[in-house]
Chain A
């Protein structure tokens, strides 16, 4: 009895497996194309190729749509996009004041150790910004410091001609003066 049931179970299982296998095969093996499908495939293929050629052709016959900049010639008039990340700069208002509180969040957020915020104390004994050291040679323009700043004291500048002959000349003090008003 037991043997019979085992055999029965096995046959059911193997039938199931065979069915499964068959269904899988039929799903992976491509069915042959009928003639109309074949012709449709060729026709639609040609149509999509022509659409692509129409697009590139429209670029070709409209040279006014050029997106690149002839850079050295137009460096006076070149305007960068707002999202462009050049180097970190500190925002100074018209009085020459910045809004950094030397909280050090940007220093902690920086993955490369680009920023060192050296705090000092003013006459009243309050903690204020002493020197904000920014090392462009280590910066990857990842924007994390700007995102983390609670006072919008720093932002990404639009300068891009940042090459220098000396590594040391890429280390900047961003604040113009000590303290905060």
Chain B
């Protein structure tokens, strides 16, 4: 039934399938999908860097970039080009293999997660049955890049930043996984597409509202954990400009640095998309129960809603970053192990009780 209301094939894929034999169409469609994700990965940081700078500026009663293009829209393009032309330096005593491998890993991890995100019901490279498990497994990869960068840079600040980051990611991944588990528990599936489709109906059917009270708590917990997972402020102790002169990115310059930078912003986008998928109904239009408005909202393509919701989550991340002071390392650990983890376990148990008792709103 879901496949009829929300078909998995799109026009471009149908066109390829109509004009090529099945086996080559399979390969061509795969390549097209990967190319689309690659282009998205390349373009999203350009937009997000601009957004970050504008949002940060307005939170601080400034204007931000205003010179290059209309309201500085081309500023990040100019910055990206400048970064590409800069010299790549390697400190004496740094391990070449690790040093140049490290920036690739976080970018690869975020790219891999992007392949299973349902941007729309027909805009998904592949839909895995265990999509949530895949997300947890792959997002853990980025910490390898950070640890490798810190280790191979031959710099004490890099190493300190990387070790902090490792400890932080290992801790907060537990909270993140528990909330993902809650969503899997209540929606009865681990496939991201099916999780989105389990939220059909009005706005109240999104998981943030569908579990009375619990959904909101889980949403807040997920936001906190994913902010920490992203190494963004107020949890940016692994970069900590004022303490560690940039942490694991201290020794990186030019294109290597821009790979880390790119990965950071793509990761933020991925975290936004995952939050949207799990809590805000993914590509589904917000239905508020008014006939004409609902029809109007339904006419807007799903990926537009998806990007709007994702942008909202990213805006929240930015709001956190530019409002809150950075946590100390011990406070960070205390927050995870003494506050978030117990609350998340309680939320998970309550979720299980809700499912068993059938208290989920119809």
Contact = CB atoms under 8 A, between A and B. Distances in A.
B58 interface: yes
Interface string B296-336: 00000000000000000000000110111000000000000
Contact of A56 (B63, B322, B339): B322
B62 interface: yes
B245 interface: no
A66 to B, nearest CB: 6
Contact of A68 (B59, B63, B319, B323): B63
B66 interface: yes
A57 B59 CA distance: 7
B61 interface: yes
Given A42-B339, A60-B55, A60-B58, A55 B63 contact: no
Contacts of B61: 59, 65-68
B317 to A, nearest CB: 12
A123 interface: no
Interface in A54-93: 55-57, 59-60, 63, 65-68, 70
B60 interface: yes
A59 B62 CA distance: 9
Contacts of A67: 61-62
Most B CB contacts (10 A, CB to CB) among A42, A57, A66 go to A66
Contacts, number: 36
A55 B322 CA distance: 11
Contacts of A70: 63, 66
A164 interface: no
A67 B57 CA distance: 11
Contact of A66 (B62, B324, B339): B62
- Range, interface on chain A: 10 to 19
A49 B324 contact: yes
Nearest to B320: A53
A52 interface: yes
A9 to B, nearest CB: 43
Nearest to B62: A68
Given A42-B339, A66-B63, A70-B63, A59 B58 contact: yes
**Main SS at interface, chain B:** helix
A66 B320 CA distance: 20
A53 to B, nearest CB: 5
Contacts of B55: 60
Interface residues of B, number: 14
A53 B63 contact: no
A49 B321 CA distance: 12
Contact of A60 (B59, B324, B339): B59
A59 B60 contact: yes
B334 to A, nearest CB: 10
Contacts of B323: 49, 52-53, 55-56
Contact of B58 (A52, A55, A63): A63
Contacts of A68: 61-63
Contacts of B339: 42
Most A CB contacts (10 A, CB to CB) among B58, B320, B339 go to B58
A56 B59 contact: yes
Most B CB contacts (10 A, CB to CB) among A55, A56, A67 go to A56
Contacts of A63: 58
Given A42-B339, A53-B319, A70-B66, A59 B324 contact: no
Given A56-B59, A59-B59, A60-B55, 11 more contacts: A42-B339, A49-B324, A52-B324, A56-B60, A56-B322, A59-B61, A60-B59, A63-B58, A66-B63, A67-B61, A70-B63
19 contacts: A42-B339, A49-B323, A52-B324, A53-B320, A55-B323, A56-B322, A56-B323, A57-B59, A59-B58, A59-B59, A60-B55, A60-B58, A60-B59, A60-B319, A65-B61, A66-B61, A67-B61, A68-B62, A70-B63
Interface of A: 42, 49, 52-53, 55-57, 59-60, 63, 65-68, 70
Give 10 nearest A-B pairs by CB, closest first: A56-B59, A56-B323, A52-B323, A60-B58, A67-B61, A68-B62, A59-B61, A53-B323, A65-B61, A60-B59
